[in-house]
Structure 1
Amino acid sequence: MILPIFITFSLLITSSYANSIEFDYCVADPTLPHGPTGYSCKDPTKATADDFAYSGLRTPGNTSSMFKSGVSLAFVAQFPGLNGLGISMVRADMAVGGAVPLHTHRVAELIVVIEGTIIAGFIDTNNTAFYKTLEKGDLFVIPPTLEHFQVNVGKVPAAVYASFGSANPGVQAVSNSLFQTDLPTEIVQKITLLDRAQIKKLKMMFGGTN
């Protein structure tokens, strides 16, 4: 358990960061302005050990969603000590038959299965699907920006940890982008070839309008 997680983080701490470091740390202060380079730094004299510890991945995520999965984030917004370090992590839990639906991030992702049996995969820009059945302890890497997914294909709940080479890798789910927004149904029809009734049903399920 510990070794795969240690390897996951080690791979994401790049030599370029180590060679360019000018401060010991830059704990995020969400009350100050932030931009493309990250959050502004908290006054270092006010930093505490709590800024560098996070317990949000201890417990399984809520799998009562429509996809029977739940994701717990350890991005910079939840874990201020990550600011500027170029690393972050999530925990994804899937009930039996559950899935983490198609989504993307700005950076590469490395997952390690901690419980159960899943299929993990991504689709490249040539529309080639790469997917693999993974067991506890297995790893799978997903290149930046590509649509990817995980599906629990086992007989027990499954869980994975995923690490990223960014403190704020972002996430965009395909289904949410289409059906949780105010993008007009007529446009969704044109770009998906779904019928109007199905789109309206999905917008109702996801909370979208128009």
Structure 2
Amino acid sequence: MMMISVATVQSTATAAAAAALTLLLLIQAASGGDPDMLQDFCVADTSSGLAPLMNGFPCKARSLVTSQDFVFTTFREAANYTVTNTGAIATFATVAEYPAVNTQGISHVRLDFGVGGVIPLHTHPLASETIFVVNGTIFTGFVSFDNVLYSQTLQAGDLFLLPKGLLHFQINVGDGPAVSFNTLTSQNPGIPFTANQMFETQIPSAVLQMSLGIGTQQIQSIQDAIPRYYG
């Protein structure tokens, strides 16, 4: 009779546990987007305000839904990028502006750039994003968990992936205006701007000094210089 040692049993059990944990993590990663919907559509009823209830808005009464609810026409016209201090502006089609995407796990944004215009460093905590260049030349990139910048200069017709939750940016590097059409994997992806989060949220000065290796005077200078982005 073949004898199996205790060490072999323990090693096999450890390997099985590791495999099960890996499978669990893969399943969790695959289901990391917005929750699955329980109906074919749920046009948001935003009459009670724009604050989402739990993971979405209540549904508009089915009898009140029309084909027009599924149309979003705001992207037809270019937005005025001169109203920002960065020369670029985002026009959103999240659930707040486009109620039809409620529970669908998707939203969109149009970016309009002047020459040299920038969408500042930011993240989307709840969504991955693709950027599709409609017109012009746009340089974009994201920073991975191990602090590697993945970037590319894009021409009209190009598509680039910005992974979920990672720091990224866009800048017009062409000699004329630029436009991109972006898709996000959440109806409400979030868009916290990095500089504003760091310097406009009452984080203690000592924390910022130690985090960035700068002094109090430099922190104040940065706070005073942050462009006010309105988009």
With the shorter chain as reference, the TM-score category is 0.7 to 0.9
- Counterpart of 1:187 in structure 2: which amino acid? V
Which structure 1 residue ranges, 4+ long, deviate > 4 Å from structure 2?
A: 205-208
- Cα 1:186–1:59, aligned 2, differ >3 Å: closer, same or farther? farther
Are 2:85 and 2:227, in contact at CA under 8 Å, matched by a contact in 1? no
Partner of 1:102: 121
- Structure 2 runs not aligned, ≥5 long: 1-32
Q: Aligned partners of 1:69 and 1:45: how far apart in 2?
A: 40
Give yes or no for the alignment of 1:119 onto 2:139: yes
Q: In the TM superposition, what whole-angstrom CA distance separates every residue of 1:73-123 from its partner, at most 9, and x where no partner exists?
A: 000011001101111100111211111111111211011001111111111
For the aligned residue pairs, the C-alpha RMSD in angstroms reads 2.4
Query: Does residue 177 of the first structure (1) align with residue 197 of the second (2)?
Result: yes
- Cα distance in 1 between the residues matched to 2:39 and 2:129: 26
Against the structure 1 CA distance between its residues 181 and 114, is the aligned structure 2 distance closer, same or farther, given a 3 Å change threshold? same
Select the residue among 83, 90, 97 that pairs with 2:102. 83
Change beyond 3 A, Cα 1:98–1:47: same
- Structure whose alpha-carbon radius of gyration is higher: 2
Give the counterpart of 2:39 among 15, 19, 23.
Answer: 23
Alignment partner, residue 72 of structure 2: 54
Give the CA deviation at 1:60: 2.1
Q: CA deviation at 1:66?
A: 2.2
What amino acid sits opposite 2:67 in the alignment? A
Q: Is the 8 A contact 2:142 2:150 kept in 1?
A: yes
Distance of 1:164 and 1:90 partners within structure 2: 8
1:155 to 175, 200, 208: 175
Q: Normalising by structure 2, what TM-score?
A: 0.74
Q: Which residue of 1 aligns with 2:58?
A: 40
Equivalent residue of 1:172, what SS?
Answer: coil
TM-score scaled by length of structure 1: 0.81
Contact 1:86 1:166 in 2 (8 A): yes
Q: Which has the higher strand share?
A: 1
- Structure 1 residue aligned with 2:220: 200
Q: Report the number of matched residues.
A: 191
- 8 Å CA contact 1:180–1:207 kept in 2: the answer is no
Report the AA paired with residue 41 of structure 2: Y
Unaligned runs of 5+ in 1: 1-16
Label 1:61 to 1:187 Cα distance change in 2 as closer, same or farther (>3 A).
farther
- Percent identity over paired residues: 36
